[in-house]
């Protein structure tokens, strides 16, 4: 629309809005007395109350728990969970081979982002808590609980196996905006010179319910 047309339209709209449309501004002549009379200005409608501001949308984010127990029915795991740290030269591991550890610098299970739990695959005396971790399949359930019995349920999405010195960023890093769980144990071949396995097995799982 040309500038002049836009200006004319704006003026016309302003006139209508103020209740003056059709008024020439010239005094009116009375048909009975012949006297002139000034038209009374049309009433201007004004809002007495401002419309209420819309209610802000409530945003509920998933809440996490401090894990004290983990159950994985498909491989017969029902173990206590202790707190571990990533702050040292090497990540801590559980001192009890039948116990799982949660790295407290990662997310709490149920929060948006990855919560990371680790456990041993075996010990000098035999199998450990995560000996069958690599046997998990897509859809298998993992249940994490806190000291009060509150639970977060996850299902397995995929597994990965990587050299220990070459873990991909997604193991500890954020993926999508959802609560995730990672389970880590040793895997691959055993290096007798170092006394450690060469690889890590990682289970990736996502939250399905509380």
Note the pLDDT tens digit of each residue in 127-175: 999 999 999 999 999 999 999 999 999 999 999 999 998 989 889 888 7
Residue 76 φ/ψ, nearest 5 degrees:
70, 30
Note the pLDDT tens digit of each residue in 82-105: 999 999 888 899 999 999 999 999
Closest CA to 153 of 173, 134, 179, 128: 179
pTM over 0.85: no
How many angstroms separate the CA atoms of 143 and 116, rounded? 14
Tokens of 40: 């009374």
């Amino acid at each position: 629309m040309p500038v002049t047309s836009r200006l004319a339209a704006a003026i016309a709209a302003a006139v209508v809005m103020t209740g003056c449309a059709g008024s020439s501004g010239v005094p009116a002549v009375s048909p009975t007395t012949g006297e002139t009379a000034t038209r009374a200005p049309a009433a201007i409608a004004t809002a007495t109350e401002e419309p209420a501001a819309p209610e802000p949308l409530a945003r509920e984010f998933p809440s996490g728990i401090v894990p004290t127990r983990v159950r994985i029915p498909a491989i017969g795991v029902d173990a206590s969970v202790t707190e571990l740290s990533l702050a040292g030269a090497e990540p801590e591991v559980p001192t009890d081979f039948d116990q799982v550890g949660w790295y407290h610098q990662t997310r709490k299970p149920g929060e948006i982002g990855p919560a990371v739990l680790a456990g041993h695959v075996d010990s000098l005396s035999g199998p450990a808590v995560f000996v069958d971790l690599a046997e998990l399949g897509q859809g298998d359930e993992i249940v994490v609980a806190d000291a009060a019995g509150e639970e977060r349920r996850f299902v397995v999405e995929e597994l990965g196996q990587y050299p220990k010195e070459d873990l991909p960023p997604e193991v500890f890093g954020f993926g999508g905006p959802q609560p995730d769980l990672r389970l880590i144990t040793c895997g691959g071949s055993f290096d007798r010179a170092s006394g450690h396995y060469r690889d890590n097995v990682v289970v990736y799982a996502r939250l399905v319910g509380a």
